[in-house]
Chain A
């Protein structure tokens, strides 16, 4: 049976992609953020996933307001990045895995999640940047991807409680997938930030700390807030914490924090990178 070995949680600010393209990892502005990936790179040397299951939000690349799924599960052979409107260099394609995708889809619907399935899905910076941060400068990826999209664009948004339940159902799917395989989870976006309105530039380190402190051992603590509570606490784009909450659910029980980095600001964002691991992770000798 497949096992979850860990979870990588990170901000996905588009400007990080620009910094990668320009090689600014050691630049004084960027270094405090990129350094958060050093322990993750070390951990990934010993922990090589067969599958990666991600939770992120589309930013108007794959989905428009004509059709806006609350939860969308990719079931494609390949996932391509594409121009998001800024003409930036494209990130490399990521191989898919229709067998695990459809197993997750079957399990989610059996668990009464009415999801949207996508046999074609473009991936945007919310996914390409975290993968590039974790495995920099590779010619190709040697894991297979199942992306799960969560609507953070158009209200009403799913509640933190529902996001956690979705993640837990994905965990159930992974545990019942009939392959001896290692699975790594990603939750991307956040933490607190707001791009729009007179409150643009808002951040909330106290709420961010509350989230990071509770996610490993007590993720249900985050479900006491509604989606609108989170918008008020964390900013209108801070609601991307929903991706982290779902990802945490997908890790199952027995999760511990292995590394944490929190830095203000990256662009308009309180940026964070957290590695959590399970009993199935290998530890360096």
Chain B
């Protein structure tokens, strides 16, 4: 029987739905904690212990260790929360975009600028 709720996929575009929210709860909870400065400092002081405190899954822990955004998203991370983790690493959204698209940061920024031609 075909599921009435067959999921729609959009190429290259994560849809953060209930399954992702459930799967990613731990990593997103950790990232949410980074709203507080002392938590950011605690993460930097002992990343392993801080990740353990939030009970990251092995997949999430590996993704964080590797600073791999696509892997974090595959493990349920949501970019609104992951942006707080990225800030700890000194990465902005162009750095994240470059990493996810496999471009250099310079090429990614040029790609953004080039879209002005479409106006």
Contact = CB atoms under 8 A, between A and B. Distances in A.
Given A60-B84, A205-B118, A228-B8, A197 B112 contact: no
Interface in B90-119: 92-94, 96-97, 100-101, 108, 111-113, 115-116, 118-119
Q: Which 8 A-B pairs have the closest CB atoms?
A: A199-B12, A85-B84, A198-B12, A196-B79, A200-B97, A265-B112, A155-B17, A264-B116
Interface of A: 15, 59-61, 64-65, 82-87, 153-156, 194-203, 205-206, 228, 231-232, 235-237, 262-265, 267-268, 270
By secondary structure, the B interface counts as helix
A265 B115 contact: yes
Given A85-B40, A154-B21, A264 B13 contact: no
Contacts of A237: 79
Contact of B118 (A195, A199, A264): A264
A154 B13 contact: no
A156 B87 CA distance: 27
29 contacts: A60-B84, A64-B29, A65-B28, A85-B34, A85-B35, A85-B84, A85-B87, A85-B88, A86-B84, A154-B17, A195-B93, A197-B13, A198-B11, A198-B101, A199-B13, A200-B12, A200-B100, A200-B101, A201-B112, A206-B118, A228-B8, A228-B10, A228-B15, A231-B10, A232-B10, A236-B79, A264-B112, A265-B113, A268-B93
A154 B70 contact: no
A247 to B, nearest CB: 21
A200 B96 contact: yes
Contact of B14 (A228, A236, A267): A236
B79 A83 contact: no
B46 interface: no
A226 B83 CA distance: 26
Contacts of A84: 35, 84
Interface residues of B, number: 48
A262 B35 contact: no
A155 B16 contact: yes
Nearest to A18: B92
B31 interface: yes
A196 B112 contact: no
B44 to A, nearest CB: 12
A65 B92 CA distance: 23
Nearest to B116: A264
A154 B16 contact: yes
Nearest to B22: A65
A101 B48 CA distance: 45
B14 A196 contact: yes
Given A154-B21, A270-B115, 18 more contacts: A60-B81, A60-B84, A65-B32, A85-B34, A155-B18, A156-B17, A197-B14, A199-B12, A200-B101, A201-B97, A201-B108, A201-B111, A203-B115, A228-B8, A264-B118, A265-B115, A267-B92, A268-B112
